[in-house]
């Protein structure tokens, strides 16, 4: 059976009700090191905690260790971030979807690294970074977007992109060839469905909730 997996990273969350509700619908929950601090605040028992354990609070580590319901994996690989380790673990659990929470925080270097981790996830696995304000995807092929009318969608190329087409947006493009540095910021969906098609490249697609 394919699984839907949540990863909680050590970013910033404020809308606790949003996360409590959305995190109920997963087969596995993995905390990337200090993400366990967030899980504890949300009264969530994760299936795994993985990382070098330099961000998790001692009290939280001891709580989950004594509870004995969470597998704790200490990995001090200096060449991988805690989120990369969590993604590698998630990929062993037969996922069809990986949703990452707590990836956006006060450290811009961590935030950018977390977003670019989407590019490390194996093809065929749908992956999104989600918070209470936005959903971020990295697309390497055509993408359909389901949303509410007038929701804002921004597109940021991460490589040269060929044959870019928008359908169902307020401002459409047709057969556009573009490079890094072109930004499709603050477009709007005209109805509840739109699509982005292209023949080559990879793009970040950021959908903002109203």
- Render pLDDT for 111-136 as a digit per residue (tens, 0 to 9): 999 999 999 999 999 999 999 999 99
The two domains 3-132 and 139-208 share their CATH topology (first three levels equal): no
Instruction: Quote the pLDDT of residue 70.
Output: 98
| CATH architecture type of domain 3-132 | 3-Layer(aba) Sandwich (3.40)
Count Cα atoms within 13 angstroms, Cβ side, for 131.
17
**Nearest Cα to 101, choosing from 15, 43, 208, 186?**
15
Provide the CATH topology of domain 139-208.
Jelly Rolls (2.60.120)
Residues near 78 by beta carbon (within 8 Å), at least 6 away in sequence: none
Q: Where are the domains of the chain?
A: 3-132, 139-208
Give the residue ranges of the chain where pLDDT is below 50: none
Q: What is the pTM of this model?
A: 0.94
């Amino acid at each position: 059976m394919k699984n839907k997996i949540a990863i909680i990273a050590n970013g910033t969350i404020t809308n606790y009700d949003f996360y409590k509700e959305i995190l109920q619908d997963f087969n596995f929950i993995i905390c990337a090191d200090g993400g366990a601090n967030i899980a504890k605040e949300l009264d969530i028992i994760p299936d795994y905690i993985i990382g070098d354990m330099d961000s998790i609070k001692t009290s939280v580590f001891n709580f989950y260790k004594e509870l004995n319901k969470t597998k704790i994996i200490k990995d001090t690989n200096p060449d991988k971030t805690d989120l990369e380790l969590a993604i590698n673990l998630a990929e062993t659990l037969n996922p069809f979807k990986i949703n990452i929470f707590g990836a956006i925080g006060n450290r811009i270097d961590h935030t950018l690294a977390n977003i670019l981790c989407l590019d490390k996830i194996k093809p065929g696995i749908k992956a999104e970074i989600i918070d209470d304000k936005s959903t971020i995807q990295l697309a390497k092929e055509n993408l359909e977007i389901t949303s509410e009318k007038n929701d804002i969608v921004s597109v940021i190329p991460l490589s040269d992109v060929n044959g870019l087409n928008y359908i169902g947006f307020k401002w459409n493009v047709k057969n556009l060839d573009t490079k890094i540095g072109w930004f499709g910021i603050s477009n709007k969906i005209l109805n509840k469905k739109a699509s982005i098609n292209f023949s080559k490249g990879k793009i970040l697609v950021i959908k903002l909730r109203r």
